[in-house]
Structure 1
Amino acid sequence: MPLLTTVLGLAQRLRRERFLLALLLPAVLWALVHPHDALNYPQAIDWPTLATLAALLALTQGLQSSGALAPLALRLMHHLDSPRRLALFLVLAAAALSTVLTNDVALFITVPLTLTLRGRADLPVARLVIFQAMAVNAGSLLSPIGNPQNILLWQQSGLSPAAFVAQMAPLALASLATLLALTAAVFSGQPCAPAPDAGRSATDRPLLALSCALYGLFLLALHLQQPLAGLALTLAGLAALRWRLLLKVDWPLLAVFALMFIDIQLLASLPLINTALTELAGAGETVRYLGAVGLSQLISNVPATMLLLHSQPPGALLAYAVNVGGYGFVLGSLANLIALRQLGAEGRWGAFHAWSVPLLGLNLLLGWLLLRVWPGLA
């Protein structure tokens, strides 16, 4: 009976996944027309990336369920007693962490902490999370390991880590400065008192200790390039202590990522797309820059980078374009989707795009100007 209830709950949850179902439709239709191609769907999925995301989702759920984030959040509110100060701290923390831990991992650290403040003080929590999503775009573009597209570009460019950072620093500094100025302008500087019902929740110390230990082991597994083994260890450890916790993990998000990989491969196989990419490679710098930003908006900047590297050099122009493309539409960067999924019901796409689309236009202009005036970039 509990199993049946769980299955029915998951089925009901799946019905609400409109974005997932929209991604599923092209894959199903293509399989009906080309049934043999469906056998290659598993090969289109980046399994190490999916395993990394699954482990981070499970570990984040463990930290949240332990109740340890609530006291830390309250301590932050005590020292940063206004939405503006708190927002500036969270934006800077997310940006800094994304340079060394990648944008996705930075969000899995900072967003759960922010969500703990929901209901404890009169704070615009949804806006705080949205700004953190934009912060990791700004911070991660500086580092050769800050995001997946930079890893690809750095590995193919032949640049040293320091040279890559020097190449990206003008855009990173301009983008972060713009975001910080916007943060200071839109968040209130008035002190906000904790809500009357804001109390300290009990901490599940065994779960906290296990989650932290598994987090360290998983990072070691990533360093050893063994994400699948790290995922297996993470799931086994959490299941042994709190198996019901795994039912709370956002598994549909994994399906969304898997379907995105499949749909992108289908898109790349179309002759029209290949022709367009060839023509784009032979165009002028401005057209190539705008084309890479636009393609990132359509299919996300990581797969856009994969496609464009087949026909364009891994220089500053492409690096600037695909990183700028992380702003704008939610699909511009998969980190955007991760942040909004963690936000849950408050994660209105309209609210996200109200801030992210203008920042796309501003950063697009900043990137283009820097490429034209900064010596040695273009």
Structure 2
Amino acid sequence: MKESVLIQNKRRLKLNLNFLKKDIVFTISLVLAMGSCLFQSPKIDYLNFPVLMSLFNLMLAIKAFEELRVLDKFAISIINKCNNSKSVSAILILLCFFSSMLVTNDVALLTFVPLTLVISRKTKMPMLDTVILQTIAANIGSSLTPMGNPQNLFIYTFYGIKPVPFFMTVLSLAILGIIFLYFFMRRLERKELKVEMVPIQMTDSKKTLAWSVILLIILASIFGVIPSEAAFIITLMTAVILNHQLLFKMDYLLLLTFICFFIFVGNISNTNAVHTLANASLKDSASVYFNSILSSQFISNVPASILLAEFTPNWKPLLLGVNIGGLGTIIASMASVISYKLYIQSYPHEGKKYLLKFSLYNFSFLAFFTLIPYVIFKILKIF
């Protein structure tokens, strides 16, 4: 009897550990939040509700479009017209770049990397370089819009930035990104082929139209046209009416991760040691810029943006730094981890090869984007 209970307890513990391993960033954020609560009492004021509501709205709308297979239909219709491997790869990379501006870098990669791997299996064509460039493209492309990635949404809301200053700050980053990607895409292997993928039929055009309207409402709330609370209620009610199952398919760990980081940052920002360190290391725009890039390499760019925002009013170098900081190490942006996991599921023996080439590509981009934009931004006096 005792042995039976012991086995059951071990199984439960294993399930709990597997849950924590599922999302390492959430686990880290939870540990940091709980640890900081030992020294400071958390306050409800730490939670940025406009950010959380906007993030929830976007996640729900994007999940709806995933279910309706809107992006899949669009991508496959284009790829079926290609006649060589280089053009297929270029389209897959550019789809990640441009779609990430609207549906976030995570969703762009979750949509198009599996499609890339299907093409790779059907054509017997290696796609490792393509997947890595897709990841870079999604991380750079998502920097252009407030809803492109979580750190942009946080910074945009936290500082109350207006649309024009935001776009003018990140536009040069996106332009440089597409130019640099172009030179890397030209180096890809060219092989004659004809991809024939079964066209996807839209599951429900009326629902697609309805969610398109909802997305416009969400964007209007992000840009301050309507209250975020109103957009939240409208989005939630639409999901309940059209497809309540969407509410059970969302990645709530992302929302919980943000809540944990808000608590952690709120707690430690009230300690004298952190205040002293921040005041010493974040003296001017240049120090904010380089510190945000550096910290992103170790703790990822989302928590880096939440942490540093508490100690600096200089949103421009912070915005640029955390977006550039998404390049480099594989944990600098969690979107990069998504691509890696998807790739090694299909090619489990190529994990080391992927990481080596990923590091080569990403640190090349990181070196370029750290130095060249800094010089340009100094000349243009962006910061």
Q: TM-score, normalised by structure 1?
A: 0.70
Does the aligned pair in 2 maintain the 1:94–1:106 contact within 8 Å? Answer: no
Residue pairs, 1:95-114, within 5 angstroms: 95=97, 103=101, 105-107=103-105, 110-111=108-109, 113-114=111-112
SS of residue matched to 2:119: coil
SS of residue matched to 2:137: helix
TM-aligned CA distance change 1:339 to 1:287, over 3 Å: closer
For 1:367 and 1:340, the matched residues in 2 are separated by 25
Does the aligned pair in 2 maintain the 1:73–1:116 contact within 8 Å? Answer: no
**Could you say which residue in structure 1 is the equivalent of 2:334?**
337
**Could you say which residue in structure 1 is the equivalent of 2:189?**
188
What RMSD in Å do the two structures reach over aligned CA positions? 4.3
How many equivalent pairs are there?
350
Residue pairs, 1:1-378, within 5 angstroms: 14-19=19-24, 20-31=26-37, 33-34=38-39, 37-38=41-42, 40=43, 42-92=44-94, 95=97, 103=101, 105-107=103-105, 110-111=108-109, 113-114=111-112, 117=115, 120-122=118-120, 131-139=133-141, 147-148=152-153, 151=156, 161=164, 165=168, 171-185=173-187, 187-194=188-195, 198-205=197-204, 206-223=206-223, 224-282=225-283, 289-301=289-301, 304=304, 314=314, 320-329=320-329, 332=332, 336-337=333-334, 340-341=337-338, 345-346=342-343, 351=354, 354=359, 355-370=361-376, 374=379, 376=381
Does the aligned pair in 2 maintain the 1:144–1:161 contact within 8 Å? Answer: no
SS of residue matched to 1:117: helix
For 2:331 and 2:105, the matched residues in 1 are separated by 16
For 1:298 and 1:291, the matched residues in 2 are separated by 11
Does the aligned pair in 2 maintain the 1:143–1:150 contact within 8 Å? Answer: no
User: Which deviations, in whole Å up to 9, do the C-alpha atoms of 1:215-246 show, x marking residues without a partner?
Assistant: 33433444434334323332332333333343
User: Does 247-256 or 80-89 show the bigger shift?
Assistant: 80-89
- The residue identity in structure 1 corresponding to 2:112 is T
Q: Shift of residue 37 of structure 1? A: 1.1
For 2:160 and 2:53, the matched residues in 1 are separated by 22
Q: Shift of residue 260 of structure 1? A: 2.6
For 2:372 and 2:213, the matched residues in 1 are separated by 42
Does the aligned pair in 1 maintain the 2:286–2:317 contact within 8 Å? Answer: no
TM-aligned CA distance change 1:80 to 1:13, over 3 Å: farther
For 1:142 and 1:18, the matched residues in 2 are separated by 26
Does the aligned pair in 1 maintain the 2:288–2:314 contact within 8 Å? Answer: no
SS of residue matched to 2:80: helix
Does the aligned pair in 2 maintain the 1:327–1:359 contact within 8 Å? Answer: yes
Q: Shift of residue 342 of structure 1? A: 8.5
Q: Shift of residue 204 of structure 1? A: 2.0
User: Which deviations, in whole Å up to 9, do the C-alpha atoms of 1:335-354 show, x marking residues without a partner?
Assistant: x4357559864488985753
TM-aligned CA distance change 1:227 to 1:91, over 3 Å: farther
Identity %: 19
**Could you say which residue in structure 2 is the equivalent of 1:6?**
none
Unpaired runs of at least 5, structure 2: 1-14, 346-350
TM-aligned CA distance change 1:269 to 1:369, over 3 Å: same
For 1:227 and 1:261, the matched residues in 2 are separated by 19
For 2:109 and 2:145, the matched residues in 1 are separated by 21
TM-aligned CA distance change 1:162 to 1:116, over 3 Å: same
- The residue identity in structure 1 corresponding to 2:269 is A
For 2:64 and 2:76, the matched residues in 1 are separated by 19
TM-aligned CA distance change 1:331 to 1:155, over 3 Å: farther
For 2:68 and 2:370, the matched residues in 1 are separated by 41
User: Which deviations, in whole Å up to 9, do the C-alpha atoms of 1:279-303 show, x marking residues without a partner?
Assistant: 12448x8655433322344455566
Q: TM-score, normalised by structure 2?
A: 0.70
Q: Shift of residue 76 of structure 1? A: 1.2
Does the aligned pair in 2 maintain the 1:63–1:69 contact within 8 Å? Answer: yes
User: Which deviations, in whole Å up to 9, do the C-alpha atoms of 1:176-229 show, x marking residues without a partner?
Assistant: 3223322332x433244447xx43455321543443343334334444343343
Q: Shift of residue 87 of structure 1? A: 4.1
Unpaired runs of at least 5, structure 1: 1-9
Does the aligned pair in 2 maintain the 1:83–1:192 contact within 8 Å? Answer: yes
Q: Shift of residue 77 of structure 1? A: 0.7
TM-aligned CA distance change 1:232 to 1:189, over 3 Å: farther
TM-aligned CA distance change 1:218 to 1:13, over 3 Å: farther
For 1:152 and 1:250, the matched residues in 2 are separated by 21
For 1:53 and 1:342, the matched residues in 2 are separated by 21
**Could you say which residue in structure 2 is the equivalent of 1:3?**
none
TM-aligned CA distance change 1:290 to 1:203, over 3 Å: closer
Does the aligned pair in 1 maintain the 2:30–2:260 contact within 8 Å? Answer: yes
